[in-house]
Amino acid sequence: MLDLKYIKNNLDLVKKGMAKRRANIDFISLLDSDLKRKKLLLEIETLRHKRNIVSDDIAKMKKSGQDASAVIDRMKEVSASIKHLDKELSATQQAINEFLISIPNLPHEDVPEGVDDTENRLEKTYGTLPVFNFKPKAHWDIGEDLKILDLARAAKITGARFPLYRDSGARLERALINFMLDTHTTRHGYSEILPPFIVNSAALQGTGQLPKFKEDLFKLEGWDYYLIPTSEVPMTNIYANEIIDASELPCKFTAYTPCFRSEAGSHGRDTRGLIRQHQFNKVEMVKLTTPETSFSELDEMLADAEKILQLLKLPYQVVTLCTGDLGFSATKTYDIEVWMPGQGQNGKYREISSCSNCLEFQARRAGIRFRRQGAKKPEYVHTLNGSGLAVGRTFAAILENYQQQNGTVLIPDVLIPYMSGKKVICHES
């Protein structure tokens, strides 16, 4: 959430930023509420001050045996009006809060303005696209043919958009998870986390999924609990409502978790295969940093994610999301799009990672602060998150990029040790 003071002092800037996002927001009611809040606060605090003083007097009078009943009667009225004004204040406060919590982060000045993903800015491409002397198949066909993916039976067990990996498929998915985690922990210096897969609404509000995107989440009936849509939620909230020491920064966390998304509003899109599932595996990176380092840390995080694709020898491109495609909490986001030769007519780049800097937007919501050496005031940290990578989509990309004419799939070199030396996935018997 944005700082109310910042909004007041930079109203034009904020309005411009929101306009870039195509977010139509009425700030007048906010400013009105804020004025009302201040007025009420002053009134209440003056009355409270009075009450505190007179209460002391009452205590003294009683001690010395005087009759205080007249004063007490007067104070009853004061207390009643405090109570009355207090109700008004908390309603006003709540209105302000609800407003602040439902407006998105401001886009960074470097972010291109645009309506949708067609206006994202291409930053770079990496690797050479594979050449096939046959028509490359989509990963769902490869997976079903090799009997390592069984989406039909998953639909029987649960429903559409749930994965069922088998044999070398299950093994490959697990190999990818381990490979990614190992790379980030030993090579990139992240500390490994295994968080809860279910979180409460406070955590989701901290990262920005709530209150606006409830429909994207799976909620546990009868509980204030939700399945995580990404491990960004539990990891970012590790230090919620804490003041951490500056020497702890930057905090770098990585975790593997399954992710659960209702995909409301995406019916009919990517209906086949592993691209869009209600449950998918992801290795995630989260950083808490000082304000001055967050953008360089973002670039590093992007590089950490890219490294996985480079090691897997998968071609990709990097784009900067335009304002229309930018997520609610982010000020700037890089997407990594992996080459999927089996998609569309002649192959397509598909999103496999998203690395974002949220500045203090989430930190303010979640109350994540730090204190500099010797400093009096705590400051909000900056939070960043990025996929490193979406495992299911990586699995799909490997199938499509490493497929051979005879229907088998070669295993990328770096994964062979994770596959007990297996070099190729053949038809499972």
- Distance between CA atoms of 320 and 334, rounded to whole angstroms? 5
- Distance between CA atoms of 118 and 233, rounded to whole angstroms? 28
* Residue number, 22 or 60, with CB nearest to RNA: 60
Name the H helices within 120-252. 139-145, 151-157, 168-182, 201-207, 232-236
* Residue number, 91 or 416, with CB nearest to RNA: 91
* Residue number, 197 or 213, with CB nearest to RNA: 197
What's the N-to-C CA distance of the chain in angstroms? 54
* Residue number, 96 or 103, with CB nearest to RNA: 96
Smallest gap, in angstroms, from Cβ of residue 118 to RNA? 40
From 186, 162, 179, select the one nearest 261 (Cα to Cα).
Answer: 162
* Residue number, 41 or 164, with CB nearest to RNA: 41
* Residues in CB range of 384: below 8 A, 6 or more apart: 285, 286, 287, 289, 294, 297, 298, 301, 355, 356, 357, 358
* Residues in CB range of 401: below 8 A, 6 or more apart: 130, 314, 315, 339, 340, 341
Smallest gap, in angstroms, from Cβ of residue 410 to RNA? 37
Smallest gap, in angstroms, from Cβ of residue 380 to RNA? 9
E strand or H helix at 353: strand 348-357
* Residue number, 115 or 243, with CB nearest to RNA: 243
From 326, 116, 329, select the one nearest 232 (Cα to Cα).
Answer: 329
Smallest gap, in angstroms, from Cβ of residue 382 to RNA? 16
Smallest gap, in angstroms, from Cβ of residue 54 to RNA? 6
Residue 101's alpha-carbon distances to 34, 97, 210, 318, 365, in angstroms, are 15, 6, 9, 30, 8
Smallest gap, in angstroms, from Cβ of residue 154 to RNA? 23
Smallest gap, in angstroms, from Cβ of residue 230 to RNA? 23
By CB under 7 A, name the binding residues for RNA: 38, 41-42, 44-46, 48-49, 51-56, 58-60, 62-63, 72, 75-76, 78-79, 90, 243, 369, 371, 374, 376-378
Which neighbouring-strand residues pair with 109?
none
- Distance between CA atoms of 220 and 226, rounded to whole angstroms? 6
* Residue number, 90 or 404, with CB nearest to RNA: 90
* Residue number, 135 or 376, with CB nearest to RNA: 376
Residue 379 near residue 370, CB atoms below 8 Å: yes
